């Protein structure tokens, strides 16, 4: 019988959760303080920990951090006071699997527990990972490693990166490795929905809610119930809708257009945009409170120019997929031309270039002429440079040097800073600026 640790100083809540877990075939161990929780955690393994945020001898956040440091296999969820979104975000950033708001809804509790018990083992990576995000560069290995960690959480994720860098592919991989993998993955292009229809598309509507509403319809949230809702180009959402989206995320409830009641939804939010959300907040185009609610954890997808060592292997893999059994290959000159190209459209542009080359090629070998690259965008292949501007070139060299130092020191930042000849504070600033986790 799986064991669940319940940490709460209110006997009524402990009893309620204990009874609910018992009916689910689980054994609850109930304690009322941080010190008791740590002692019990060290004594025996648990399949899940549920902790209140306010305890007599400290904060539930201390338990989240303790479990992350000493019992990483145990998922932990926090119980927060109504409206305490800040506490929930802090817990998710510290490594909490999910959160519940008081008063605790039993349906939400059961859903959370079932999801937590379906979590894959730490470090488990399905075969789909190798096929979804190709590339052996240091930055792509780092991306895949972070995705494996994010798949074990229910925290909202913000995926940043340029157009064509693989943001939706990364979101799908997070979903595929998560306990929600059997439920729907619903992608939504926020910029493609007319402003007058945004609310009804997201939350659904009742029959007769407006002219043309001839039947009741589910929205994106209902369609993704139990699964993942991927909001692409989230920066394009109108401000009025941003307020309603914030409430839906915080309360985990939505109200259909024309309805007077709310319904609970169990949805994980992953959002992405090629725009700089922080700049959008500063310009008043995106709500700051929604930004902090969506950007609990950021995953940065590197542009193709920062991982040039992946270009040829990516091209060969794409050609193998496009050509079937034709045995298509790149000539050495074509490979050099791809390495020298700037790829402003990233992996999506590489795929388009190769599709065109396959159509134009007269044999099994792709030549430079088949690629039809823009002449102005291809330069002589310089050592490690290609067609980058100076800032991109210097950033890529700096990133490469830092990643190599971290690899040599086993991830020890202090030792890496010493190896690079910079202060620890300087290295930390550079890591943040370059988006290195």
Please check whether residue 227 is in contact with residue 168, taking contact to mean a CB–CB distance below 8 angstroms.
no
Please check whether residue 248 is in contact with residue 221, taking contact to mean a CB–CB distance below 8 angstroms.
yes
User: Within this chain, do residues 269 and 347 fall inside the same structural domain, yes or no?
Assistant: no
Q: What phi-psi label fits residue 168: left (phi over 0), alpha (psi between -120 and 50 degrees) or beta?
A: alpha
Q: Supply the Cα-derived Rg of the chain in whole angstroms.
A: 24
User: Within this chain, do residues 177 and 250 fall inside the same structural domain, yes or no?
Assistant: yes
In a domain, 142, yes or no: no
Which of 63, 96, 117 is a domain's end point? 117
Q: Nearest 10 degrees: CA dihedral of 218, 221, 226, 228?
A: 130
User: Within this chain, do residues 230 and 202 fall inside the same structural domain, yes or no?
Assistant: yes
Longest dimension (CA), the chain: 77
Sign of the Cα pseudo-torsion (35, 41, 43, 48, in order): positive
User: Within this chain, do residues 316 and 272 fall inside the same structural domain, yes or no?
Assistant: no
Which of 300, 327, 347 is a domain's end point? 300
Pick out the chain residues at pLDDT < 50. 122-130, 379-387
For residue 344, what are the domain limits? Answer: 304-377
Tell me the backbone φ, ψ of residue 263, rounded to 5 degrees: -125, 145
In a domain, 103, yes or no: yes
* Domains held by the chain: number: 4
Give the containing element (helix H, strand E) for 328.
none
CATH code assigned at 311: 1.10.8.60
Residues constituting the chain: 437
In a domain, 127, yes or no: no
Verify cis geometry, omega within 30 degrees of 0, for the bond prior to 103: yes
Please check whether residue 280 is in contact with residue 240, taking contact to mean a CB–CB distance below 8 angstroms.
no
Please give the pLDDT value at position 393: 67
Please check whether residue 47 is in contact with residue 1, taking contact to mean a CB–CB distance below 8 angstroms.
no
Please give the pLDDT value at position 82: 58
Please check whether residue 136 is in contact with residue 173, taking contact to mean a CB–CB distance below 8 angstroms.
no
User: Within this chain, do residues 110 and 158 fall inside the same structural domain, yes or no?
Assistant: no
């Amino acid at each position: 019988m799986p064991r669940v640790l319940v940490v709460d100083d209110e006997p009524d809540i402990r009893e309620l959760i204990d009874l609910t877990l018992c009916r689910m075939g689980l054994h609850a161990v109930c304690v009322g303080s941080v010190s008791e929780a740590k002692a019990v955690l060290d004594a025996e393994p648990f399949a899940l920990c549920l902790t209140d945020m306010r305890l007599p001898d400290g904060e539930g956040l201390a338990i989240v951090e303790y479990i992350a440091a000493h019992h990483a296999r145990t998922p932990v969820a926090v119980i927060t006071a109504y409206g305490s979104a800040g506490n929930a975000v802090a817990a998710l950033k510290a490594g909490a699997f999910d959160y519940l708001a008081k008063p605790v809804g039993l349906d939400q509790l059961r859903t959370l527990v079932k999801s937590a018990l379906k979590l894959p083992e730490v470090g488990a990576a399905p075969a789909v990972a190798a096929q979804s995000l190709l590339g052996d560069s240091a930055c792509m290995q780092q991306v895949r490693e972070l995705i494996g960690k994010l798949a074990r959480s229910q925290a909202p994720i913000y995926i940043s990166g340029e157009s064509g860098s693989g943001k939706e592919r990364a979101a799908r991989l997070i979903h595929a490795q998560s306990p929600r993998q059997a439920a729907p993955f619903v992608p939504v292009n926020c910029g493609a929905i007319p402003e007058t229809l945004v609310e009804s598309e997201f939350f659904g509507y009742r029959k007769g809610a407006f002219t043309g509403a001839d039947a009741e319809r589910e929205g994106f949230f209902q369609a993704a119930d139990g699964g993942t809702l991927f909001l692409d180009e989230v920066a394009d959402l109108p401000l009025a809708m941003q307020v309603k989206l914030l409430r839906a995320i915080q309360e985990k409830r939505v109200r259909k257009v024309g309805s007077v009641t709310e319904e609970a939804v169990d949805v994980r939010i992953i959002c992405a945009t090629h725009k700089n959300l922080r700049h959008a907040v500063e310009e008043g185009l995106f709500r700051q409170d929604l930004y902090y609610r969506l950007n609990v954890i950021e995953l940065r997808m590197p542009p193709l120019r920062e991982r040039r060592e992946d270009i040829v292997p990516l091209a060969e893999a794409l050609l193998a997929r496009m050509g079937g059994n034709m045995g298509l290959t790149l000539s050495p000159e074509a490979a050099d031309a791809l390495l020298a190209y700037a790829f402003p459209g990233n992996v999506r542009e590489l795929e388009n270039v190769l599709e065109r080359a396959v159509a134009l090629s007269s044999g099994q070998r792709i030549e430079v002429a088949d690629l039809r690259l823009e002449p102005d965008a291809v330069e002589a292949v310089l050592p490690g440079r290609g067609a980058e501007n100076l800032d991109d070139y210097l950033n890529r060299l700096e990133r490469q040097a830092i990643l190599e130092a971290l690899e040599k020191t086993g991830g020890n930042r202090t030792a890496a800073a010493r190896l690079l000849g910079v202060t620890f504070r300087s290295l930390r600033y550079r890591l943040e600026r370059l988006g290195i986790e």
